Amino acid sequence: MARTAAVPVVPQVWRIPLLGDFVNGYILRDDDGQVTLVDMGIKSSGAKVMAALASIGSGPSDVTRLLLTHAHPDHAGGAAHVARETGQRFGIHEDDAASAAAGTAPPRDPTTFLGRLTNRLPGGGFPPVPVGETFTDGQLLPFAGGIEVVHTPGHSPGHVAYLLRESGVLITGDSIFNVRGLRWPIKSFCTDFRLTTKTAHRLAELDYTTAGFTHGPHLSDNPREHIRRFLATHPVEG
């Protein structure tokens, strides 16, 4: 059975399964038909983003904003393709903007063996992303009912979550995965894993009714309580 190109989350918000449920992007559509796309998956996922857009009855000319949660290849890989198709440039937190524009992921956590190894190896990049706007923590983006930029560094220096105030959806980014249950991201993929586990607590402080994960299916059943319970039962020592 064919997979759904775009999974409804709440009215006017869809999750795009880009590698099954393991890697997700998001579509946000305003009442006037303007579309915001969040995260573009790996390099080959750009076409899937555009197909998901078509599946909800929208097209490239409806896309007026492009956002990234952070500059990693599994989120920014398809960004150049989507930018070409839509004629738009990307918004990203200022601390990841240079990495996105260069097509190079920020350094990985040097306290892990794989992180040190990855930092020494060539490759691991993605097509350079055209960056048009940079964000700071707490900035309110005046579309999709108001999107609050929530800076949660650690997974990358400029990693953010996006809180959709009107629809009550929190797009978490990679602070926490929902892959066979809530779990921390892979340590060696983070710039600073311990910082990730500290800033993830911001997700428990926000007001939302649906958690949209970039890795794993979204949660609509008391997601904030699930996240609070995870944070309380999965502390990182040291």
pTM of the full structure: 0.94
Q: Over the stretch 49-105, which tens digit does the pLDDT of each residue have?
A: 999 999 999 999 999 999 999 999 999 999 999 999 999 999 999 999 999 999 999
Which of 66-95 are b and which e, b meaning 16 or more Cβ less than 10 Å from the residue's Cβ?
Answer: bbbbbbbbbbbbbbbbbbebbebebbbbbb
- Give the N- to C-terminal CA distance of the chain in Å, as an integer: 47
Note the pLDDT tens digit of each residue in 107-149: 887 677 555 545 454 456 899 999 999 999 999 999 999 999 9
- pLDDT for the residue numbered 14: 98
Q: What is the DSSP letter of 201?
A: G
Task: Report the sign of the C-alpha dihedral through residues 48, 50, 51, 53, in that order.
Answer: positive
- Say how far apart CA 213 and CA 15 lie, in whole Å: 9
Which domains are assigned to the chain? 7-233 (3.60.15.10)
**Paired strand residues for 25:** 16
The CA distance from 198 to 94, in Å, is: 20
Distance CA 174, CA 96 (A): 14
Per-residue pLDDT averaged across 210-217, rounded? 98
The pLDDT of 151-160, averaged and rounded, is 98
- Residue pair 92/105 in contact by the 8 Å Cβ criterion: no
pLDDT at residue 116, as a whole number: 59
| Mean per-residue pLDDT over the chain, rounded | 93
Share of the chain above pLDDT 70, in %: 93
For 14-44, how does the pLDDT look when each residue is reduced to its tens digit (9 = 90+)? 999 999 999 999 999 999 999 999 999 999 9
